[in-house]
Structure 1
Amino acid sequence: MTQSDRKKGALLVLNSGSSSVKFTVFQVNPDASGDEALSPFFAGQLDGIGSSAKLKAKAATKELLADESWEHLDQGTVPAILPHLLEWIEKNLPADLPLLAAGHRVVHGGQLFNKPVLLNGEIIEQLSEFIPLAPLHQPQNLAAIRTLAESRPELPQVACFDTAFHQTMPEVSSTYGIPDELTQEGIRRYGFHGLSYEFIAHHMRETFPDVAKGRVVVAHLGSGASLAALQDGVSVDTSMGFSALDGIPMGTRPGSMDAGILIHLMRHHKMSADELEKMLYYKCGLLGISGLSNDMRDIQASEDPKAKLAEEIFCMKAAKTITSLATSMDGIDALVFTAGIGEHSPSIRAKIASHLKWIGVELDDAKNDANDLHIEADGSLPVFVIPTDEEFMIASHTLKLQSA
């Protein structure tokens, strides 16, 4: 679609979970080009679906648009309440900003999808085949897509995949040490948080093109956390693998662990696959180590030795992963911190950097404390703090595909 083909209107970006829906509405500016073609209009979240649904939304100007109970509309599931949310969104759009399309974050595209796609019935069914690869996320993503297809069949929908960005990884990075027939079945390292890494690569190309051409490690540190090696803006390795459990410890997920532990738990603790899944996704990581919280802010505020241990493990594992990813590129030219912890916790960044002086990383304390864009000390390799914007990437892809 060329700039002259664009229509004035709005794009809806949806990120659907089992009991919540996050949404962002972007205005399409048909006379603008590049990133200026899109501007945030309003955003919000519908929480507590199935118990005490509540809608919160704010305009891009930070004006409060909604903070209200939706229990009267709650029938227990996201698909049941989603048409009401779409109706609310359309009512809050000006008459000259019709809804043009919806873009969805879809966790898994398997080996089949290496870029965003305009959805149809056949593709939706293909995506359902990847449910075993992402059993906790893929069904929720597809439920929202199917609901919109039924309630607004004329509305184009685009799927953007967390795995697509990492399809460029070479076999040496994507292949496990397992029998080849299992690899051919699709048991391989896929990587996740791809929309975040894609945004960082895009932003770096626009603002620091010379750095972007080099070897950059990006640390996406949040409740879900991973790291990736980008060479000339392309993924060559990442810490997450077959599932979003791999890599460094996260809020409630363990990160990399000896597979023999799972065999032990099955044999000696008689744990079923469902019990293991619940433990691995909801009871490990910072929460499991500390016994206190899955939130790094709570961990850092506590004097409990187990909380301190959780923080130290998180930082040490992140630092070890940075050096591992640098090895995948035969070196490192820059380091980027992003996502909730990466963007807002100077002390975590400092602890991670303290393990990396030997590869040329040293922070300027004042710049780091201020969350500046550049936080490296003189003589250090470049270290950036860059806010990620996965919603913008979804909107950008949706804009390109919605009239195709």
Structure 2
Amino acid sequence: MPQNILVLNTGSSSVKFAVFDAALTEILHGQAEGIGTDAGRLTCGDHDITRPLPDHATALEAVLDALAEAGIDRDQLAAAAHRVVHGGATLKEACEITPDVRAQIEAAVPLAPLHNPHALSGIDAISRHAPGLAQFASFDTAFHATNPDIATTYAVPAEVTARGIRRYGFHGTSYAALMRRWADVTGTNLPARVLAFHLGNGASACAILNGRSVATTMGYSPLEGLTMGTRAGQIDANAVLRLAEEDGIDATRTLLNNQSGLKGLSGGLSDMRALGQAGTAEAQFAIDHFCHWAVRHAGSLVAAMGGVDAVVFTGGIGENDAYVRGAILGGLSFLGLRPDSEANTAKATQLHHPKSRVAAWIIPADEERQIALDAAKRLQTFAFDPKQKVPPG
């Protein structure tokens, strides 16, 4: 009986993938990038080839072929599990992708126009190339479904809220993975009040009370909140309206999502490593801006929990940039944090000084395994008729 789970993270120009066995051990991973060009690139295990990838369907077919060459045929897959950024107001937990679920993901496209269409491309491509394969979705928004209404509702008329204009929150699979791994990685019990930072090109923070999200920095879309690689983060809505009036909606959307954040502040650099090496005043200002607003937003999240017992960092910047971590912890020193000592353990890094009142940790991101776990849980009781699987869109 097939037991391997293929995890897919389909973006605008790339498909990241990983295969997990029945024990949820990763046995292979890779990426198809440059989708939409004649110079696409596919990496899978030891394979690294350049080939045209004109669309997502071609890229997914190439991924399945590469897996077969690596010894993982389609009939060895029990399921394909997809990362879907937005589940809208109705999809609040990981689930099987039925025709109805696919329709709900499509209905949420206006809420995540930069993300959900690509997830649908991956879902539809699997439906075409492996029509009998069970498919599941894990939603970035699902972890934050526990936020109280007072935290998710914007101060607008009810009819506007009814159109889906509310806070949703994102990076949910990352935060869920942190909670799942806490005891094993840190060797401690999960504290009651955790301030979690997912810091990468996309960045957010989350207040986690008794293992459940009660507040987060991203809102209606992944644009809101912290300063990010190319996203502006928090900006006054009237400033956005002025930009839209003067420059047009499309140009403003591109500006705020793709040309702002660290890139806009530094004059072109969106990668934190490159900023750290640049040595310019603009680069340092961008780094300081990133840290300053992480601290500002953290104060709000701590207030939502009524205090804090532990801080945790994950994501590419959170795991690897000691300067950023130190600046954020230093800004939170009034909470009893002292970032002047690092003690390494086999699985995690504990950042706090032994006399600190609040523990601070690094826990490496584990989103792909979380998505595989979501699918595996549902496969245990899953029985399906291949004729009822999701049709190509």
Give the structure-1-normalised TM-score: 0.90
Distance 2:372 2:62 in 1: 22
Question: In the alignment, which residue of structure 2 is the partner of 1:54?
Answer: 41
Structure 1 residue identity aligned to 2:51: W
What runs of 5+ residues in structure 2 fail to find an aligned partner?
383-393
Q: Give the secondary-structure state (helix, strand or coil) at the position aligned to 1:378.
A: coil
Question: Is the contact made by 2:179 and 2:190 (CA closer than 8 Å) also made in structure 1?
Answer: yes
Q: Give the secondary-structure state (helix, strand or coil) at the position aligned to 2:371.
A: helix
- The one of 367, 373, 376 equivalent to 1:396 is 373
- The one of 271, 274, 278 equivalent to 1:295 is 271
Question: In the alignment, which residue of structure 2 is the partner of 1:88?
Answer: 66
Distance 1:10 1:211 in 2: 31
Distance 1:231 1:209 in 2: 19
Distance 1:371 1:275, change over 3 A: farther
Distance 2:311 2:63 in 1: 39
Distance 1:288 1:96 in 2: 44
Structure 2 residue identity aligned to 1:183: T
Deviates more, 1:80-89 or 1:314-323: 80-89
Distance 1:102 1:347 in 2: 38
- The one of 136, 140, 151 equivalent to 2:118 is 140
Question: Is the contact made by 2:191 and 2:309 (CA closer than 8 Å) also made in structure 1?
Answer: no
- The one of 49, 63, 87 equivalent to 1:68 is 49
Residue deviations 1:319-366 (CA, integer Å, cap 9, x gap): 111111000000000000110000001111011111111111111344
Give the structure-2-normalised TM-score: 0.92
Question: In the alignment, which residue of structure 2 is the partner of 1:24?
Answer: 18
Percent pairwise identity:
38
Question: In the alignment, which residue of structure 1 is the partner of 2:99?
Answer: 121
Shift of 1:207: 5.1
Distance 1:196 1:95 in 2: 29
Distance 2:187 2:158 in 1: 39
Question: Is the contact made by 1:105 and 1:161 (CA closer than 8 Å) also made in structure 2?
Answer: yes
CA root-mean-square deviation: 2.0
Say yes or no: does 1:218 pair with 2:196.
Answer: yes
Residue deviations 1:164-186 (CA, integer Å, cap 9, x gap): 01000001211111112111221
What runs of 5+ residues in structure 1 fail to find an aligned partner?
1-6, 29-36, 59-64
Q: How many residues get paired?
A: 379
Shift of 1:279: 0.9
**Matching of residues 297-376 of structure 1 within 5 Å:** 297-367=273-343, 373-376=349-352
Distance 1:165 1:209 in 2: 23
Shift of 1:80: 2.6
Distance 1:84 1:319 in 2: 43
- The one of 164, 172, 178 equivalent to 2:142 is 164
Question: In the alignment, which residue of structure 1 is the partner of 2:258?
Answer: 282
Distance 1:319 1:249 in 2: 11
Residue deviations 1:177-216 (CA, integer Å, cap 9, x gap): 1112111221110000000000001112555686424100
Residue deviations 1:103-154 (CA, integer Å, cap 9, x gap): 0000100110111110122211121000000001000000110111122110
Shift of 1:95: 7.0
- The one of 33, 40, 53 equivalent to 2:26 is 40
Structure 1 residue identity aligned to 2:238: G
Question: In the alignment, which residue of structure 1 is the partner of 2:363?
Answer: 386
Q: Give the secondary-structure state (helix, strand or coil) at the position aligned to 1:70.
A: strand
**Matching of residues 174-253 of structure 1 within 5 Å:** 174-206=152-184, 211-253=189-231
Distance 1:291 1:198, change over 3 A: same
Identify the structure with bigger relative contact order (alpha carbons < 8 Å, sequence gap 6+).
2
Distance 1:96 1:85, change over 3 A: closer
Q: Give the secondary-structure state (helix, strand or coil) at the position aligned to 2:180.
A: helix
Question: Is the contact made by 1:163 and 1:190 (CA closer than 8 Å) also made in structure 2?
Answer: yes
Structure 1 residue identity aligned to 2:5: L
Question: Is the contact made by 2:18 and 2:29 (CA closer than 8 Å) also made in structure 1?
Answer: yes
